Amino acid sequence: MAKRSDLSIFVSTLLLFLPLLMVAEAELGESEKFPVVVSTWPFLEAVRAAWRAVDNGSSAVEAVVEGCSACEELRCDGTVGPGGSPNENGETMIDALVMDGVTMEVGAVAAMRYVKDGIRAANLVMKYSQHTLLAGEGASAFAISMGLPGPMNLSSPESVKKWSDWKDNRCQPNFRKNVVPENDCGPYKPNNDRMDISGDIRTESCKMGTIEYKPPLIGPHNHDTISMAVIDKMGHIAVGTSTNGATFKIPGRVGDGPIAGSSAYADDEVGGCGATGDGDIMMRFLPCYQVVESMRQGMKPEEAAKDAMSRIARKFPDFVGAVVAVDKKGSHAGACHGWTFQYSVQNPDMDDVQVFTVLPSD
């Protein structure tokens, strides 16, 4: 009887702790999926830099900063960091953002001059101010006061030549519309003769020999952003972006790079998103906020990404852009419109960074 009683106690105890053992096993399985690094485009060295940081125990925010900073130093595709994408005045400016999915804090800089370290400047805004976004020379002054090197010239021989060739081509293409230049490269004034009472361009103006000004083609080498999401070993998520903006933009232009919810967004309870493309259009729709909220409502990353793109395409069928989504479990997917998109991933199942190719949806 004593042995049977002892056996009963053992079985009862085992049944009591079995659910706890199952939970522990499940948590172990989940932890094996982390950390995760996801980035727009095949910016392999940037992803490796973020992976080294997070795999060695850095937080998601720290790893995002390291990854985007590596891309700035490498001047990825000429569209990130100093030395690329001159504006109409031939000057390179920096936009960047970092967002902590745990606290929902954001730091960002826009149209920043004289300081090359965009993502580190954005992180300083988040850490040492109660603001979300600093712009222009104020952003530069703050970054330098917090210890970043500067002021410095952000142009390069390549960006200066690109700008010079553009000037020789009568400053075409550019981002102006409904204007008349006093000479080939401005100054510009409104072309009221071409507007009807509603403000729309008259179609017959083309027959009168008026020059049609078309914006530069949008592509990975003239209009791009690194947008990165990192989930650390604790399962916390952060996102970051950095870009020197659209080539030949009007001075003062700010794209979607430093706009939370447009170029990137993160929420620990759901996941994160990064975006790239025509920021002037995409920022009107906050696609990354939309992606995260769609995942919150139960959509898978692929569904959420495609839905965000389709919302923009319905209004602007000719726009070019892409998003990459990652949920809190590390599942990821991308979607694009108007071009073929690639994004990069590294997780514990991979020996090195893997690049995924996404074709535009119909």
Active site (catalytic) residues: 225
Q: Answer yes or no: are the C-beta atoms of 288 and 263 closer than 8 Å.
A: yes
276 is in an annotated binding site: yes
Is 255 known to sit in a ligand binding site?
Answer: yes
For residue 167 the two structure tokens come to 């000037």
What sign results for the dihedral spanned by CA atoms 164, 169, 174, 180? positive
Tell me the three state secondary structure of residue 173.
Answer: coil
CA distance 289 to 106: 14
Rounded distance between C-alpha atoms, residue 38 and residue 325, angstroms: 9
User: Known binder of ligand: residue 277?
Assistant: yes
- Counting beta carbons within 10 angstroms of the beta carbon of residue 196, is it exposed (0 to 12), middle (13 to 18) or buried (19 or more)? exposed
Residue 253 counted as an annotated binding residue:
yes
Per the annotation, does 278 bind a ligand? yes
- Under 8 Å between Cβ of 60 and 69: no
CA 63 – CA 237 distance, rounded (Å)? 10
Q: Please give, one letter per residue, the 3-state secondary structure of 211-272.
A: CCCCCCCCCCCCCCCEEEEEECCCCCEEEEEEECCCCCCCCCCCCCCCCECCCEEEECCCEE
- State how far the Cα of 151 lies from the Cα of 141, in Å rounded to an integer: 9
Q: Quote the tokens at residue 81.
A: 């960091």
Per 3-state DSSP, what percentage of the chain is helix, strand, and coil (rounded to 5)? 35, 20, 40
Burial class (CB in 10 A: 0-12, 13-18, 19+), 265: buried
Integer Cα distance of 298 and 135 in angstroms:
36
CB 274 within 8 Å of CB 39: yes
In the block, residue with structure tokens 């009107």? 284
The reply to whether 279 sits in an annotated binding site is: yes
Give the annotated binding-site residues for substrate. 253-256, 276-279
